[in-house]
Amino acid sequence: MYIPNQQDIEEFWENGYWISPKLINNDRISRLREAMERLFAGDFDGYGSLFDGPLTLPDDPLSLRRVVDSWWVNNEIRDMVIDPGLGRIAAELLKVDGVRLWADQAIIKPGSEDHEETTSGNVGWHQDASYWHISSTQKNMITAWIALQDTDLSNGGMRTLKGSQKWGLIEESDKFFDTNLDGQKEFFENRIGGEWIDEPCILKAGQASFHHSLCFHGSGKNLSSKPRFSVIGHYMPNGTKFTPSDKFQIFLPLLGPDPRPGQLLAEPSFPRVY
């Protein structure tokens, strides 16, 4: 895969995100789309199950479809999110020696061409770090958002707040499920430490947007007639340890019974990627 150069790394740290060249070919894109269709139909690889229980889909046909840690039950997605080439990009951008997979997400945003008034498929402005508070590297992790079709604002592409990683962790920035993007802007503008610069991530199929765990991002409606597919890998530096938190954390059971402060986040639930 592509290896980021110094200019790419500087751009990532200046803006909070960086858009890659095309990383995967059309054949792999097709295989990933087919894998996601199987996944959301409940057709799993192997003999395991989803880590957080049976597959459930929203009743609203326009709501976001999402599976977390789909690598547990889908080999094609697993091979993508633990691809060492993808891991090297994440490590180079973070300026660390190596990374592990924190989690993945497989997301389908249904089209809403005839329902422009809906906000069901919106993703609220949020910082990933606000959800990752049991990680000792919470404030220095990275996400790779891989587009499986050409993606822009017309089909609900991701938007970032340029430079927002410089603001630090903002209180109550865990608003992934709040679909009122305009209302959130008013809420956050009283809390942030810089200018609100909303930039779209415009990607060709096979490109990825890498954003820092403190970079605010969200997405609006898919106004097209076709669903938007994306595979997402979240990565943490090697050596990341468990840090206790008084907040609920969906991944805490993956550390086993009676986890201890300083416990390494490692195999099998957090595999080394690079």
Do the beta carbons of residue 90 and residue 210 sit within 8 Å?
Answer: yes
What sign does the dihedral 260-261-264-266 (CA atoms) show?
Answer: positive
Average pLDDT, the chain: 95
Give the sign of the dihedral formed by CA 67, CA 64, CA 94, CA 262: negative
Res. 273: pLDDT tops 90 = yes
Q: Is 158 exposed, middle or buried (0-12, 13-18, 19+ CB in 10 A)?
A: buried
Chain segment 36-79, per-residue pLDDT in tens: 999 999 999 999 999 999 999 999 999 999 999 999 999 999 99
Please list the residues that pair with 199 across neighbouring strands.
160
The sheet with strand 99-109 has its strands ordered as 17-19, 208-212, 142-147, 228-237, 99-109, 65-68
pLDDT at residue 117 in the model? 73
Q: Look at residue 135 in the predicted model and tell me its pLDDT.
A: 97
Quote the pLDDT of residue 191: 83
Mean pLDDT along residues 184-194:
83
Rounded Cα distance between 169 and 213, Å, is 9
Whether the model pTM is above 0.85 = yes
* Torsion sign (Cα): 244, 246, 251, 254: positive
Split at pLDDT 50, 70, 90, the class of 114 is confident
Can you tell me the distance from the alpha carbon of 151 to that of 274, in angstroms, rounded to the nearest whole number?
A: 28
pLDDT at 235: 98
What's the whole-number mean pLDDT along residues 14-24? 98
Q: What is the mean pLDDT of residues 150-170?
A: 95
- Output the pLDDT for position 145: 98
User: Is 31 in contact with 76 (CB distance < 8 Å)?
Assistant: yes
Which of the pair, 62 or 209, is modelled with greater confidence? 209
Provide mean pLDDT across the span 101-112: 95
CATH code matching the domain that covers 6-239, chosen among 3.40.462.20, 2.60.120.620, 2.60.40.420, 3.30.499.10 = 2.60.120.620
Among 123, 108, 86, 142, CA closest to 35: 108
Give the mean model confidence (pLDDT) for residues 154-180. 93
Mean pLDDT of 22-33: 98
Domain edges within the chain = 6-239
In the block, tokens 């943490």 appear at 236
State the pLDDT at residue 81: 98
